[in-house]
Chain A
Amino acid sequence: MSEAPRLQLKGMTKIYPSVIANDSIDMSIAPGEIHAVLGENGAGKSTLMKAIYGVVKPDRGQIIWNGEAVAIQNPAHARRLGIGMVFQHFSLFETLTVTENIALAMDDYTSMESLAGRIEEVSGEYGLPLDPGQLIYSLSVGLRQRVEIIRCLLQQPKLLIMDEPTSVLTPQAVRKMFETLRRLADEGCSILYISHKLDEIMELCHSATIIRGGKVTGYAVPADETATSLARMMIGKEIPVCSRQRPVVDGERCLEVRNLSKSSADQFGTDLKAISFSVKGGEILGVAGISGNGQQELLYALSGERLVDDRDSIAIHGESVGHLNPDERRNRGLGFVPEERLGRGAVPGMSLSSNVILTAHRQGMVAKGLLKFQKAAQFAEKCISDFTVKCGSGDDPITSLSGGNMQKFITGREILQSPDLLIVSQPTWGVDIGAANIIRQSMIDLRNNGSAVLVVSEELDELLEICDRLIVIAEGYVSSSVNVNDTSKEEIGLWMSGMFPGGPATDTFNEATHNQESHGC
């Protein structure tokens, strides 16, 4: 390409007190190029993007924009230069309308009505229809992302940064988004595409910068590489694979859910609508679905954190437990790993071995009302060595661990108690590939030993890899179960948007059927 690069980074460095997030990163992106930034969680991708967008200030390094060195002061400055960003965790305002959300990011509009008109026009033009009057909280996650994208497009950006955009989309929605991105690139907009999903990058991107531990480990043309070679650059070694060996274990029915209905505690949550399914010993049942479709509510009901009205709607080993609290359910063989590691999975201010006692005190750690700290320390040591948790010792505070190690420790704590029934939410969310494989393998081992395992995850690939059967949750409805060998990613993707027998089955645009309220005086 003959033109000057749209954006060039030279020696970008950002140092945080405990870690060097970016270490002398060089990168260049041409007009109309889709450039991947590939790296594991914690490799420093997000920090680098935030530096370009003016959210964090780099300690050293130069940003060259269209041939001129610039110091980007803040996001407003970046937007004026023509840089737009779609955040991984959305920067939307739930109680405001689509138009109001977009107005907050715009400097040049005359009235709300004219802005609403422009939103309809641009969103229609790119095939991403949006209703400007709708309130954000009534929109699905996919539509919220659409709002973010349209918000960027309205400013006619010359560079669009997308931070892990597909983690919240169905496979069909991902297709749709790729079309939009290719079209933008054809129009001359450069795109920085951040992801750790190799197949997406190989399909979409023209070029890639691979980052590991804050440093660039390679530049590549994804189309010329294989998934294995990209992964080697990304994690520095071959991707370990889970053992696919799985003996057929025919256990008895362990968890039975019958006609479970429960209204959500959150005003904007999803109510559970007459859910039925069961898990038997020796199998892993996966719950697929886009986040915010009732997974939270289902897990609160199953763990006992929220009791259900009909005690018979949840049964463990045939005994009704709907009225029992989490402790009583654990006494009946339940192990539970919640989505939030700190706060629900572990107490932040406590050491590893004290956190062990919270759920593992049933393993002979209490005698005559007194705690046996020796036993707890032994349990913590075993957990640390079995699950290769990287930490100083069992006396360290749990907050000193990285996200992946914390997840290994919390999952390990539950698995080492050999529960008859293990319920795990987002087991590998924000966890690097190595740790993710250890966690997945340990769930498979637990299944092979005859326990029942229920996994709730948004990562469809993960569910297809480890589960025996799948159910899909959409808008609080649950599909019938399907054997993973008898289905495909595409079919599950359709189900995730509600299109399964007995499902909410609305088309993707009009899925938010809430009436439009406005703010009253």
Chain B
Amino acid sequence: MDGDIFIQILVAAIAAGTPFVYAALGELITEKSGVLNLGVEGMMLVGAISGFIGMAKSGSLLVAVLCGMTAGALMALIFAVLTLTLMANQVASGLALTIFGVGLSAFLGLKYTSIALPGVPELHIPFLSDIPVVGRLLFSHDILIYSSLVLFGFICWFLYKSKAGLILRGVGEAPKSAHALGYNVIGIRYLAVLFGGAMAGLGGVYLAVAYTPMWVEGMVAGRGWVALALVVFASWRPLRVMAGAYLFGGITIAQFHIQGFGIEIPSQLLSMLPYIATIIVLVLISRDQKSIRLNSPASLGLTYHPNN
């Protein structure tokens, strides 16, 4: 049943790509405001364990999601105070945030390593879920996957259709000009950083309560770094971020199946495949220098002082 395996891979790929969707879209908003937060990995980890604890204590997905998002946003708040109020270097502060998040999540998770959660049920939609192939592919997922699609639609609308999104892009492009027009550059950047943190936290929650419903120390396993890379290689465009996230998820799942078939390729090489393939594809589709310049925030990573 080759077709069946294919559908299985696709369905699993969407699930595997979802943590990246949340974290990378959040980081996209942060970076569009001109702030480079390298702490995604740390925010995802703290979000994951906070969501896991919330789920274990209350049994409610909503509580888990709120815990994870709050924890991610609090982590981002530390970063925002350091870089936006105290004007610290963004790269160094982001790296420190990740190291801090790795340690903090391991500490918080000490008592939770042997617990398994029930997971998040798939939503069964009458009729739609019963359609052959398409039904399995599109209508057999859990609510966190559907909400990531809503988030994607919201971000496209926000960035390219709303006034607030225009202001955000303006602040990332030329903070001095935005200031001269009377916008509060630091305040807007605070909001963007906090949103990025909340989304990274939500990506972590998805991993720990839905994708693999248990807590393992360091379970984010580099996904935060991949999310960061996705934003850059997708040249700060939401649709390409989505494509990159699902491509990465798809190849990750596919290479498991290839290993399962017993094909004579060292598994280490196969494990490298998602990283290499995703970067090559995104670099190839984003090679147009002019479009990169049009979509990349010109002030990314630069400290901004409003008074000079």
Contacts and interface: CB of A to CB of B under 8 A. Distances in A.
B239 A521 contact: yes
B181 A91 contact: yes
Contact of A521 (B174, B179, B238, B289): B238
Interface in A55-98: 55, 74-77, 79, 87, 90-96
Given A94-B173, A519-B160, A104 B178 contact: yes
Contacts of B249: none
B167 A520 contact: no
Contacts of A92: 174, 177
Nearest to B295: A519
B298 interface: yes
Contact of A100 (B166, B290, B298): B166
| A interface majority secondary structure | loop
Contacts of A79: 182
A135 B169 CA distance: 14
B290 A517 contact: yes
A448 to B, nearest CB: 42
A268 interface: yes
B182 A75 contact: yes
Which of A75, A77, A104, A517 has most chain B Cβ within 10 Å? A104
Interface string B146-183: 00000000001001100100110110011011111111
Interface residues of A, number: 26
A517 B295 CA distance: 11
A249 interface: no
Interface in B52-104: none
A100 B168 CA distance: 12
| B interface majority secondary structure | helix
A58 to B, nearest CB: 14
Interface string B276-307: 00000000000001110111001000000000
B237 interface: yes
A433 interface: no
Contacts of B176: 91
Interface string A110-129: 00000000000000000000
Interface residues of B, number: 28
B239 A520 contact: yes
Which of A79, A92, A100, A520 has most chain B Cβ within 10 Å? A520
B293 A267 contact: yes
B156 A93 contact: no
Contact of A95 (B163, B179, B239, B298): B298
Interface string B213-249: 0000000000000000000000001110000000000
Contacts of B177: 90-93
A140 to B, nearest CB: 18
A104 B181 contact: yes
A342 to B, nearest CB: 15
Nearest to A268: B293
Interface string A499-521: 00000000000000000010111
Which of A75, A92, A521 has most chain B Cβ within 10 Å? A521
B174 A94 contact: yes
A520 B237 contact: yes
B290 A267 contact: yes
Contacts of A55: 179-180
Contacts of B174: 91-94
Nearest to A109: B163
Contacts of A96: 166, 169-170, 173
A350 interface: no
Contacts of A27: none
B24 to A, nearest CB: 14
A241 interface: no
A520 B291 contact: yes
Given A95-B294, A521-B237, A75 B181 contact: yes
A520 B234 CA distance: 11
A517 B294 contact: yes
A115 B293 CA distance: 26
A302 to B, nearest CB: 25
B182 A76 contact: yes
A105 interface: yes
B245 to A, nearest CB: 14
A103 B163 contact: yes
Nearest to B163: A103
Contacts of A91: 174, 176-177, 180-181
Contacts of A94: 173-174, 298
B173 to A, nearest CB: 5
A93 B291 contact: no
Contacts of B291: 517, 520
A50 to B, nearest CB: 9
Nearest to B294: A95
Contacts of B293: 95, 267-268
Nearest to A57: B307
Interface of B: 156, 159-160, 163, 166-167, 169-170, 173-174, 176-183, 237-239, 289-291, 293-295, 298
Interface of A: 54-55, 74-77, 79, 87, 90-96, 100, 103-105, 135, 267-268, 517, 519-521
Given A94-B174, A96-B166, 11 more contacts: A55-B180, A77-B182, A91-B174, A95-B293, A95-B294, A104-B181, A104-B183, A268-B293, A517-B291, A520-B295, A521-B156
19 contacts: A54-B182, A75-B181, A91-B174, A92-B177, A93-B169, A93-B170, A93-B178, A94-B173, A95-B293, A96-B166, A104-B167, A104-B181, A267-B290, A267-B293, A517-B291, A519-B159, A519-B237, A519-B295, A521-B238
Closest 9 CB pairs of A and B: A76-B182, A91-B177, A75-B182, A91-B180, A521-B239, A267-B293, A93-B173, A74-B182, A95-B294
